[in-house]
Structure 1
Amino acid sequence: MRYTPEAGKIDLSVLCLADSVIIEIIDNGPSIPLNERERVFDPFYQILGSKQIGSGLELSIVAVIAKRISADIALKYANTEDETRIIVSLTLPIQE
């Protein structure tokens, strides 16, 4: 929510499949350049020029938790034409 503009929008969706649950979060905040997309999972990493206050730990913590529970985390663009609106997708396996 910190990176979403004032009066911005955040969408959350949950999709239940036979073998997994997919949680997606989409916002209309600033985009993440393609060449920095994987780096945002590194502890303390912040995109250069970002004026946001923070530690750069949020997505790295999510990535560590995802790995420990055998989940997958991915980033993609909701709008691929102008590479805006990031989707954070977390796929959680359903365990018997």
Structure 2
Amino acid sequence: MSEIDKATVAKIARLSRIKIEEDKLEPLAGELNNILGWVEQLGEVNTDTIEPMASPVNAKLRWRDDVINDGDKQESVLKNAAKAEFGFFAVPKVIE
């Protein structure tokens, strides 16, 4: 792993458009190096016998029937519209 120095922290800050004072660059470089060290340690963990998972909770999703319908909500949705025509929202013409 390569070490992050002050110049690299300054470049990252400039690319991120984050203003960091000059005296804060060195401590921040140390913190970033510590974080990268932890990430490197995680890469050394043997996970060959571990199954990939999307969640730490072993839960099954409940399935529902895939039924096509219109929702039967047109009237209640259009009730909030400023103007409705032919079952749709009516908006004023913007471009002539």
- Given the two structures, how large is their TM-score scaled by the length of structure 2? 0.22
**Higher relative contact order structure (alpha carbons within 8 Å, sequence separation ≥ 6):** 1
- Given the two structures, how large is their TM-score scaled by the length of structure 1? 0.22
Which of the pair has more CA radius of gyration?
Answer: 2
More strand by share: 1
